[in-house]
Chain A
Amino acid sequence: MELTANKFKANASRALVDAQLQKALGNVEKGFIGKRQMAADALPEFDALRDNARDIKNHVLAHLDLYLEEYERKVLAAGGHVHWAETAEDARRIVLEICKKANARTVTKGKSMITEEIALNDHLSANGIEPVETDLGEYIIQLRGEHPSHIIAPAVHLNKEQVEGDFRRVHTHLPAGRDLSEPVSLLSEAREVLRQRYFAADVGITGANFLIAETGTSVIVTNEGNGDLTQTLGKVHVVVASIEKIVPTLEDTSQILRVLARSATGQDMSVYTTFSTGPKRQEDPDGPDEYHVVLLDNGRSAMLGTEYQDMLRCIRCGACMNHCPVYHAVGGHAYGSVYPGPMGAVLTPSLNGIDETGQLPNASTFCGRCESVCPMRIPLPKMMRHWREREFERNLTPAVARYGLKAWAFFAKRPKLYRLAASFGMPLLSLFGGTSRRFRSLPFAGGWTRHRDLPAPEGRTFLQAWAQREALKQEAGQ
């Protein structure tokens, strides 16, 4: 997708007046927060599991090279193929080659943010291969020519009436008078349409929630079972996953699985958790003839050893955006990048550079709710602040903010001068506040007064008043 992260402010302003979107965004708060809380409360060891999950990933990141090599060995031993892709372009090329070799005309796809990151669908389409998204949300946005607005609920920005309209527009082979008023009828219709696509597809492409080094297994979690059909019915299964998805063992996987669905949707487990190791063996009743893993770096190895390394612990549960007041206000598309919300505000600058994405780590109140629910305990606000530091160092911070800050800091670092200025300024400002004791507009404070009044100061500063009180006390005492 086209990166429009630096148009965030304009995107957001549009989103705020989009009535349809605002209605849909209400579902994020209603749908996720309470369920996660209930799931967490129901498990006394939830916080201990989070610590454990964090430690597992920290260990992996400290030894990533070893685990990746071990993983590759195990995939090869199971009869699979491993492809190393340093860039998004490499990954696209590799997947296309595999599809071409299989003479693929259509490919089915399980839900995968990595294939969004590398813009795989556009690349396949441009080369005459039709990608078919099989996750219901992904299917809907593919029909609409959109990108996911949420990493686990890609169509969360839509209302069911919009989906009904899309289905009627596209599924013209079905009776026009059919009832699509209920979400379940939309689901059944999508199922029916997609069922045929699975059988026709030559290649199935999925992402991976985990890659297990000890067994060479890729793991996906879904609620619709679409991933299983995608990867078992095609002749070829291609897994596209980024390198930090590695976990050492099956046991580690189950540890992290225990926090994943609870943090994401409040489920104990997703409906389907599917482990795939290599292609179909002789004794298997079904499965693909070929099993490929494309391991994508795309800037991640450069994050190792930096202040952004912790971000590589992310398991893409979406809890950060589900709890983010900014995301609630503007939705995922406003971020103008593949990954929205707090995790996107940290990851996107790492992948695309801060020059093109500087708005994202700035668009946060630092309320810290994201970090408080992150199952992997990623210090998201801290890392957003680090991005602001990188911006400031390189003079990318907008000039008005930079000069304003410098002028303020000049006084803040000189208490005597600061006191002098404040002792004149505040009483004056208080006087201007008049009897209503507020400002409805004020020069240089338009950002504030556009939407709210500015309460007028009381008059003298606290330090002035305190000094006077102490002086009077001393006089009285003498």
Chain B
Amino acid sequence: MTSSEAKAVRQPRVGLFATCLVDLFRPSVGFASVKLLQDAGCEVHVPVAQTCCGQPAYNTGDRADTREIAEQVIEAFEGFDFIVAPSGSCASMLKKHYPGLFAGDAAWEERATAFSGKCHELISFLTDVMMVRDTGAALETKITYHDSCSGLRELGVKEQPRKLLGNVRGVEVREMTDSDVCCGFGGTFCVKYSDISNAIVTKKVGNIDTSGADMLLAGDLGCLMNMAGKLKRQGSDVEVRHVAEVLAGMTSQPPIAGSGK
């Protein structure tokens, strides 16, 4: 089914889970996501009762708060046909980790499982569900793409962004060495184990540099802010953006870091 056919049947109603980092730090990723979803034929809604997916609590071992947050997200979003997040790690939290939070509570477990079945990471949703092949964007630049861990290993997001980027007019993709190795962000890890995180991101930034790309893209704002912060500290010119910004052709907002070479 092409996206125009999908539109003819009925526009799928998509609840956009913006993620806390996009909401707070980089709204342009939210708007780029909306544009990509609408162009693909979706009716996009942004429920106001959203804060965060709960990962900070979940990964600190605080199950009770995580569950309360999860209930809140499920209640706000379960009415949509799809729930889409511009982040592999948040989408994976909703899709892969929520049901386990309700183990032993049959009613909620069923609800969470039904909910999780409708959750997707943005780029793979566009390619795998909405069958988007070309977003119509154009940008003259050399980009390199970092595979964020949760999206890659929990959701299998690997080829999807590359397929879409390959069809952006003017873009040349330069793969970096170890694009699938962690950038050292790891949520609270990067502040709890600051020195180790620094060693890991230093290696990553070295690989970005030697790729010869002028622009770094990824699908997770946490990783992007980590790599952008390191690139900026090192005085690099490499521009850092969320992949949705480029795919939506919305690059007028200054990048997260860098000014381009």
Contacts and interface: CB of A to CB of B under 8 A. Distances in A.
Interface of A: 9, 12-13, 16, 325-326, 328-330, 362-369, 371-372, 385, 387-393, 397, 401-402, 405-406, 408-409, 411-413, 415, 418-419, 422, 426, 437-438, 440, 445-448, 450-455, 457-463, 465-467
Contacts of A388: 59-61
B61 A325 contact: no
Contacts of A9: 193, 195
Interface in B176-219: 181-182, 184-201
Interface stretch (B122-130, B137-145, B161-169, B222-230): B222-230
Given A363-B193, A418-B51, A451-B194, A413 B68 contact: yes
A401 B229 contact: no
A408 B191 CA distance: 16
Interface of B: 18, 20, 22-31, 34, 46, 48-52, 54, 56-63, 65, 68-69, 72, 149-150, 153-154, 181-182, 184-201, 225-226, 228-230, 232-233, 253-254, 256-257
A447 B191 contact: yes
A364 B186 contact: yes
Contact of A451 (B149, B189, B233): B233
Contact of B186 (A366, A387, A455): A366
A455 B225 contact: yes
B181 to A, nearest CB: 6
Contacts of B62: 389, 392, 405, 409
A338 B20 CA distance: 39
Given A368-B150, A452-B229, 20 more contacts: A325-B181, A326-B200, A329-B196, A369-B149, A371-B153, A372-B153, A390-B61, A411-B51, A412-B20, A413-B65, A450-B198, A451-B194, A451-B195, A451-B197, A452-B232, A455-B229, A458-B26, A460-B27, A462-B24, A462-B30
Contact of B181 (A369, A385, A452): A369
A412 B192 contact: no
A16 B23 contact: no
B212 to A, nearest CB: 22
13 contacts: A9-B193, A12-B195, A326-B200, A329-B199, A367-B182, A368-B149, A412-B57, A448-B190, A448-B191, A452-B233, A453-B228, A458-B28, A466-B34
Q: Which of A328, A371, A412, A460 has the most CB of B within 10 A?
A: A412
Contacts of B253: 458
Given A409-B69, A463-B48, A455 B25 contact: yes
B46 A466 contact: yes
Nearest to A440: B233
Contact of B50 (A366, A369, A397, A415): A415
Query: Which 3 A-B pairs rank lowest in CB-CB distance, beginning with the nearest?
Result: A365-B186, A447-B191, A452-B229
Contacts of A330: 196, 199
Contacts, number: 204
For the complex, would chain B's binding face be called helix, strand, loop or mixed by DSSP majority?
Answer: helix
Contacts of B50: 415, 463
Contacts of B23: 422, 461-463
Contacts of A329: 196, 199-200
Contacts of B233: 440, 451-453
B25 A457 contact: yes
A332 to B, nearest CB: 14
B55 to A, nearest CB: 9
Given A367-B186, A392-B60, A457 B24 contact: yes
A463 B45 CA distance: 11
A289 to B, nearest CB: 51
Nearest to A393: B61
B107 to A, nearest CB: 21
Contact of A447 (B31, B49, B61, B194): B194
Nearest to A382: B100
